[in-house]
Amino acid sequence: MNMANTITLLTDFGTEDSYVGAMKGAIACIHPSPLIIDLSHDIPPQDIAAARYVLMSAYPYFPVGTVHVAVVDPGVGSQRRAIAIQLEAGFLVGPDNGIFSGVLQTHTPLQVVELTNPQYWRTDTPSQTFHGRDIFAPVAAHLANGLPLRALGRAIAPDSLITLAIPEPTLISDRMNGEWIGAVQYCDRFGNAVTNLSERLLQTTNWHVLVTSAAKDRVVVAGVNHYGAVAEGDYLAIVGSSGWIEIAINRGNAQQELGLGIGTTVRLVL
């Protein structure tokens, strides 16, 4: 058994109350020297789609063996499954509600279990409203301690996991250099809208994005390689730090101005 120490937490619990602290305490009861890293606790309440993106965009930067706990869990206490997933580079622990489907788009699960073994929970009568503290955090600490995944419960088929549907970009025309339909998959706190259009689609430096939103008629957004390429207040499209094309306004809030949200369709024209 190899021991790891990095455990990340991602929730919609906020930081005012004791919920996050209690999860960390539950970890410290099991792991002697965890490195607990907060991805975010400010996910909008119950916004699984936002959590899916935040997790997938942080995931590649963590060491092998890291255990990622994600708890945006509107179905807690219902029949939704509690799961743990082993990947080549680490583990995912949380509810089976699509929150992991961003990471799983590009990383193949080696093994998936349903957390049916109460031996590794904090208590065998967990709170009906707080599996983060009573199930997910303790299970994560045991995984970091080197416990094999299969000890946590019964194996389930990876293709039985719930997927959060954000449609893959589609090539709709290959006249000229091509044209792709994609969608916004996240809006960050600066109002930048991250699409699911990858920089790998860009075969040319001359490209633009078309946005048709509730707030505006069709807007043509020029692709650039730094913010300063457009005047303050102007739209721009740029490759963000995770490799996705983002729609932004230089020193402004594109999400608000354009009325964008997760799922809004965008069109990339090469």
Binding site for a copy of itself (CB under 8 A): 5-6, 8, 14-22, 24-26, 28-29, 33-43, 45, 54-55, 57-58, 61-63, 66, 77-78, 122, 127-130, 133, 188-190, 225-228, 238, 240-241
Task: Specify the DSSP element, H or E, that contains 38.
Answer: strand 35-40
Q: Using the minimum distance from each CB to a copy of itself, give the nearer residue, 17 or 168.
A: 17
Q: Using the minimum distance from each CB to a copy of itself, give the nearer residue, 28 or 219.
A: 28
Q: Using the minimum distance from each CB to a copy of itself, give the nearer residue, 81 or 267.
A: 81
The least distance separating a copy of itself from the CB of residue 262, rounded to whole angstroms, comes to: 14
Tokens of residue 212, six digits: 């048709």
Residues 6+ apart with CB under 8 A from 206: 223, 270
Residue 15, CA distances (Å) to 36, 55, 167, 247 in order: 15, 18, 33, 29
Q: Using the minimum distance from each CB to a copy of itself, give the nearer residue, 122 or 267.
A: 122
Q: Using the minimum distance from each CB to a copy of itself, give the nearer residue, 15 or 256.
A: 15
Q: Using the minimum distance from each CB to a copy of itself, give the nearer residue, 96 or 134.
A: 134
Would you say 94 and 136 are in contact if contact means Cβ atoms under 8 Å apart? yes
Of 18, 27, 19, nearest to 8 (Cα)? Answer: 27
Of 189, 182, 158, 177, nearest to 244 (Cα)? Answer: 182
User: CA 227, CA 191: separation in Å to the nearest integer?
Assistant: 14
User: CA 64, CA 103: separation in Å to the nearest integer?
Assistant: 15
Tokens of residue 145, six digits: 């301690």
CA count, 13 A, side-chain hemisphere, 120: 27
The least distance separating a copy of itself from the CB of residue 193, rounded to whole angstroms, comes to: 13
The least distance separating a copy of itself from the CB of residue 191, rounded to whole angstroms, comes to: 11
The least distance separating a copy of itself from the CB of residue 86, rounded to whole angstroms, comes to: 18
Would you say 194 and 237 are in contact if contact means Cβ atoms under 8 Å apart? no
SS3 81: coil
**Ramachandran class of 251: left when φ > 0, alpha when ψ lies in -120 to 50, beta otherwise:** left
Q: Using the minimum distance from each CB to a copy of itself, give the nearer residue, 33 or 205.
A: 33
The least distance separating a copy of itself from the CB of residue 190, rounded to whole angstroms, comes to: 7
User: CA 189, CA 177: separation in Å to the nearest integer?
Assistant: 33
The least distance separating a copy of itself from the CB of residue 170, rounded to whole angstroms, comes to: 26
The least distance separating a copy of itself from the CB of residue 174, rounded to whole angstroms, comes to: 29
